[in-house]
Structure formats: C-alpha cells, structure tokens
C-alpha cells in the first residue's frame, strides 16, 4: 500500500526550480503561510500541487490524523517505553487531566519563583543551571535568545562534563549569591551529577552556609533528588511523559521563567499552544509542520539529500541549530519502524547549520557550487534585536534573502565554469515578526510537530532514544574495570590517557 504511495510521489514530474515562478505563478500564494507571527515560505522548493496531493495521500495511508489525535489525547505514542508524549499539555493543549496536572506544577514553579524574588532563599544574583541534552539546550537557547536585556539575573548553563565548562561558567559568579538549578529528568545522568557535585564543592569553598539549601531540582524523579540531598520544597517536578528534548515547557524551563520573568514564560507557552492548535486543526494543505515534513521527506527520499542546512540570520538564534540537532536527530535518527521492521529509506537528515551572515563567509561556497544538494532553511526576524544603525538589520535581511534567490536562480557561465552557479537549489524561509517569547514558542513547537509528522510518515517512534545508551554503558564499564576486555585500539587509548601504561 505505502510503497505504491512512494511510487506515486516519485512519479510526480520534477519542476525546474530556476524557472518555477514562470511555470507556476500562483505558487507564492499557495506555498506561503502565516501562523502565530511566523511567515513560512516554501515557494523556493520543489513542492508542486501534484506533489502535495501525492503526499497528502501518503499521510492518509499512514493514518496521520489518528496519530496526531493520539499525540494530543495522551495515548501511548512511545510504545518502546510504554508512554504518552505530553509536552503539549505543558502549554495547555492535551488530555484534560494532563493539562490540569501540568498547570498545578507550573503554579508550584511560579510560587517558588515568587519566593526567590522575595529573597526567601537569600540573595540571588546568579543562576547556575546544570543539565545536559534536553535538560540544557532549551533553557540555554531561551536565555540566549530572549535574556540579553532582561537584566534580572545572570544565568549560566553548564552541560559538558569537561571541567573547563564549569570553570568558565562560574568565573564571574559569587557563590554566596548563586542559586543552583540541577536539571535532569532521571536525576542519574553522569555528567549532570558530577557537575552538580562540583557546584556544591564550589559553594562550600565559597563558604556558603547551607549549599544544599541553594539547590532547586528540576526533575521527573523527585525521589532521586531527595536522595541526593534536595529538600522536597525545592523540587520542581514534571511528568514522566514529557520527553527530555521536549521539556523546556516544563520545570526544565525554570531558569528562563526566573530569568525572563513569569509573563515572558507564559507568553512562550501561549505561542507554542497557538502552533499546537494550528497543527491539530489545520487541513494538510494549510498545515505548516505537515507541509514542512512533506518537503523534508521529498528531499530525503526522492532527492537523496542526507543533510539539511539551517541558518539563523539573527544572532539571538545562534543556538537554534544545536537545539534542533537534538530535537530532530535524537528523535528520528532511527533504523527500525514502530513494528520493529527495518526502515525502508533514510530517516532524519543530518541537521547542521550556523548563523548568517557569518556562515556565508565560511560554508556557503559548498551550498552554491558544491556537488551536494542541500535543502537550506533561513530564519530571520523583521524586528531587529538592537538599537544600532538600522543599516545593520537591513544588511542582515538583504543578505538572507539574496542567498535564497542566488541558490535558486544560479548563473550560467559557459566560458568560465569556475564562476558558474548551477542554481536550482532549494530553500525555505521562515520570517518571524520578532524574536519574542510568543513567536519563539511557536517556532519551537513548529519544529516539534514537524519532527513528529516526519516520524509518522516514516512509521518510526520519535520519542525514544536507545541509540545513546550503549556508549554510556561502555563508559561506565571503562570507569569501573579499566581497559581490559576492549579492542586493542580502545585499550591503548585508555592506557595512554589514563596513565595505565607500564
Ligand atoms: O543521553 C540522552 C538523554 O537521555 C537525552 O535524551 C536527555 O535530554 C539527556 O540525556 C539528559 O537526560 P536527563 O534529563 O535525564 O539528565
């Protein structure tokens, strides 16, 4: 059944991107959409009316609507772990009891924030947030994007187990004025627990009277946090059904809620909820995450593109590529379908990217003239994030739009091939009204739903991540038993680096 669907998709005539606006003049209207302050423009991709119809049939064959309903109803959509995936409930969209539970936990977070602001835990000027992966990337992105002028607290996020990261983070922090947020869904992650221990030691060295009294735990495993020494009143729990890379909406977002203020955090959730409703209620041809997933699938499976480049033309969004790398690659980097059978094509593309205009002077050469075909995504904001000469923002946006036009149009140069540009290279542009809590919430929710829609089309489970476990296990075994029992290369490296060589 579904193979026939893919045959139908492959049979659709491929348009010539270089002349696509001449052959299909209505495409700008058809392939642009504005949702929650975000304008999506897919008109410079190979998407056509016929292709859209073929993909809509694929979505139907994959029971997309039923899968989407299951996601929002709190049904088990992560069968390998027997769990629902209820990040939408954190923003008020989902099963009524899950939404009520999430609201109650948000009230608790707000009450603790009020107490901190009232200095009930002593003076606080700095927040040291310790976590890794989904317990760090989201808060880091939010503070970097939105917190530049917040002027409330200095927030530093430490994730890497490399002590250099910790030393750098606390370099200008006064331990007496620091609040420590330990973020870990499981409260067992090696890197986080080691960094948290070092943070306690740093506080002890800084003569903080009651270092554990300055710890807030953000976790779905409150018992483990209590065991570690955190008082129950300073634990901000979240539900087991919220996945790590989908967790910034829960108490994992605590440093942002404290650092930006509660109103900003609420606005972030509302922006995400607006995108949730759009995804849940819009028909396929008007559904931004689903259309984006159709295009992702087309490039991955029909055009064999192995990567997707993502360029934020806004310094405030410089951490977006790393955030989306986890979201997309940890979710959809799989080799088996939900039923355990091997996947029948490529899954998540390698998501990579950078910041414009910097990236233009580094990697865009390959995008324009290299042999790879790389669909590119540009993200920019109409409103600048600074008060400098407007020429800065004009130059930034002009460059962004020029790149998309150049990739598509190309330029022939028969007499001088080194100076020829093949063109016909696709790009998508997402133009934000501004980089503000509401629009950023909507943008991140868009990417979550796009990832989910891709997974449904590929019949894979985007909510587990067993791929990361083997390496963790081996690291533990090396820590415990040393180099014995490993291949000669690994053993030699351990001996050399850990001083076990005789
Ligand atoms: O190793 C992968 C992972 O499990 C991610 O999925 C998660 O975001 C990260 O580790 C951190 O996990 P935790 O929040 O339990 O410390």
**pTM reported for the whole predicted model:** 0.96
Q: Please identify, by atom number, the ligand 1 atom nearest to the C-alpha of residue 472.
A: 1
376 and 433 belong to one structural domain = yes
Q: Is the pLDDT of residue 463 over 70?
A: yes
Q: Please identify, by atom number, the ligand 1 atom nearest to the C-alpha of residue 186.
A: 15
pLDDT, residue 44, reads: 98
Tokens representing 117 are 């602001």
Cβ of 185 less than 6 Å from ligand 1: yes
pLDDT, residue 49, reads: 96
CA distance 281 to 452: 15
Looking at the domain assignment, is residue 225 inside a domain? yes
User: Do you find a cis peptide bond into 496, omega within 30 degrees of 0?
Assistant: no
Q: Give distance in angstroms: CA of 53 to centre of ligand 1.
A: 38
276 and 230 belong to one structural domain = no
205 and 236 belong to one structural domain = yes
46 and 125 belong to one structural domain = no
Looking at the domain assignment, is residue 89 inside a domain? no
Cβ of 135 less than 6 Å from ligand 1: yes
Residue nearest to atom 1 of ligand 1 (CA): 468
170 and 290 belong to one structural domain = no
- Do 393 and 376 meet the contact criterion of CB atoms below 8 Å apart? no
Nearby residues of 36 by Cβ (< 8 Å), 6 or more positions away: 271, 274, 275, 278, 438, 439, 442
296 and 430 belong to one structural domain = yes
Mean pLDDT, rounded, of the chain: 95
Looking at the domain assignment, is residue 294 inside a domain? yes
> What number is the average pLDDT over the span 317-343?
97
Of 227, 260, 293, the residue that ends a domain is: 260
189 and 55 belong to one structural domain = no
Looking at the domain assignment, is residue 249 inside a domain? yes
Nearest CA-CA partner of 316 in 228, 443, 412, 422: 443
| Residue 500 banded pLDDT, cuts 50, 70, 90 | low
Partners of 378 in the β-ladder: 311, 429
* Residue showing tokens 């598509």: 408
The domain total for the chain is: 3
Which active-site residues does the annotation give?
A: 330, 361, 472
118 and 55 belong to one structural domain = no
pLDDT, residue 195, reads: 98
447 and 473 belong to one structural domain = no
Cβ of 133 less than 6 Å from ligand 1: yes
Tokens representing 303 are 């055009």
CA distance 124 to 186: 27
Looking at the domain assignment, is residue 90 inside a domain? no
Of 233, 260, 287, the residue that ends a domain is: 260
pLDDT, residue 476, reads: 86
Cβ of 251 less than 6 Å from ligand 1: no
Cβ of 219 less than 6 Å from ligand 1: no
Looking at the domain assignment, is residue 435 inside a domain? yes
Cβ of 32 less than 6 Å from ligand 1: no
Q: Is the pLDDT of residue 222 over 70?
A: yes
288 and 372 belong to one structural domain = yes
Q: Please identify, by atom number, the ligand 1 atom nearest to the C-alpha of residue 219.
A: 14
Q: Please identify, by atom number, the ligand 1 atom nearest to the C-alpha of residue 468.
A: 1
Q: Give distance in angstroms: CA of 164 to centre of ligand 1.
A: 21
| Residue 213 banded pLDDT, cuts 50, 70, 90 | very high
63 and 9 belong to one structural domain = yes
Cβ of 134 less than 6 Å from ligand 1: yes
| Residue 115 banded pLDDT, cuts 50, 70, 90 | very high
Residue nearest to atom 2 of ligand 1 (CA): 468
CATH number at residue 231: 3.40.50.10490
Looking at the domain assignment, is residue 87 inside a domain? no
CB atoms within 10 A of CB 144: 18
Of 240, 260, 280, the residue that ends a domain is: 260
Cβ of 332 less than 6 Å from ligand 1: no
251 and 234 belong to one structural domain = yes
pLDDT tens-digit map of 469-492 = 888 888 888 888 777 778 888 888
DSSP for 213-258?
A: GGEEEEES-HHHHHHHT--GGGEEE--TTS-GGG-TTTGGGHHHHH
Q: Give distance in angstroms: CA of 243 to centre of ligand 1.
A: 9
Structural domain boundaries enclosing 123: 95-260
Site to probe by mutation for ligand 1, drawn from 189, 228, 245, 473 as the one with most ligand atoms within 8 Å of Cβ, is 189
Looking at the domain assignment, is residue 12 inside a domain? yes
Site to probe by mutation for ligand 1, drawn from 78, 83, 134, 159 as the one with most ligand atoms within 8 Å of Cβ, is 134
How far from 37 is each of 10, 144, 240, 294, 436, CA to CA, in Å? 34, 20, 31, 22, 10
């Amino acid at each position: 059944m579904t193979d026939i669907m893919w045959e139908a998709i492959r049979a659709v005539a491929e348009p010539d991107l270089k002349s696509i606006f001449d052959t299909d003049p209505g495409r700008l209207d058809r392939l642009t959409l504005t949702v929650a302050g975000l304008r999506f423009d897919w008109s410079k991709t190979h998407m056509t009316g016929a292709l859209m119809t073929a993909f809509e049939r694929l979505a139907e064959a994959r029971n997309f609507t039923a899968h989407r309903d299951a996601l929002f109803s709190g049904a088990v959509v992560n069968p390998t772990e027997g769990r629902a995936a209820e990040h939408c409930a954190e923003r008020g969209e989902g099963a009524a009891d899950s939404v009520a539970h999430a609201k109650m936990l948000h009230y608790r977070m707000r009450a603790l924030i009020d107490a901190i602001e009232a200095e009930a835990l002593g003076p606080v000027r700095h927040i040291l947030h310790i976590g890794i992966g989904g317990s760090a990337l989201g808060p880091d992105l939010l503070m970097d994007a939105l917190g530049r002028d917040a002027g409330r607290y200095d927030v530093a996020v430490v994730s890497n187990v490399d002590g250099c990261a910790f030393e750098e983070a606390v370099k200008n922090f006064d331990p007496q004025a620091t609040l420590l947020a330990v973020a870990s869904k499981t409260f067992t992650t090696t890197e986080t627990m080691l960094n948290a221990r070092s943070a306690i030691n740093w506080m002890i060295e800084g003569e903080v009277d009651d270092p554990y009294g300055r710890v807030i735990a953000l976790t779905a495993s409150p018992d483990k946090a209590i065991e570690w020494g955190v008082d129950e009143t300073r634990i901000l729990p979240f539900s087991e059904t919220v996945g790590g890379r989908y967790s910034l909406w829960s108490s994992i977002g605590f440093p942002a809620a404290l650092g930006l203020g509660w109103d900003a955090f609420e606005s972030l959730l509302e922006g995400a909820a607006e995108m949730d409703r759009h995804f849940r209620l819009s028909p396929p041809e008007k559904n931004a995450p689903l259309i984006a997933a159709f295009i992702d699938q087309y490039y991955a499976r029909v055009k064999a593109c192995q990567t997707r480049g993502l360029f934020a033309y806004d310094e405030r969004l410089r951490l977006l590529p790393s955030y989306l790398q986890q979201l997309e690659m940890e979710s959809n980097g799989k080799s088996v379908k939900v039923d355990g059978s091997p996947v029948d094509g490529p899954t998540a593309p390698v998501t990579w990217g950078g910041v414009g205009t910097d990236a233009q002077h580094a990697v865009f050469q390959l995008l324009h003239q290299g042999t790879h075909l790389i669909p590119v995504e540009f993200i920019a904001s109409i409103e600048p994030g600074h008060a400098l000469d407007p020429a800065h923002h004009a130059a930034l946006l002009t460059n962004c739009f020029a790149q998309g036009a150049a990739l598509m149009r190309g330029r022939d140069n028969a007499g001088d091939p080194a100076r020829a540009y093949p063109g016909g290279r696709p790009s998508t542009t997402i133009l934000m009204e501004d980089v503000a809590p509401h629009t950023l919430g909507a943008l991140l929710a868009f990417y979550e739903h796009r990832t989910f829609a891709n997974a449904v089309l590929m019949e894979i489970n985007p909510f587990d991540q067993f791929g990361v476990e083997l390496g963790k296990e081996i690291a533990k075994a090396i820590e415990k038993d040393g180099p014995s029992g490993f291949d000669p290369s690994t053993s030699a490296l351990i001996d050399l680096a850990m001083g076990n060589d005789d």
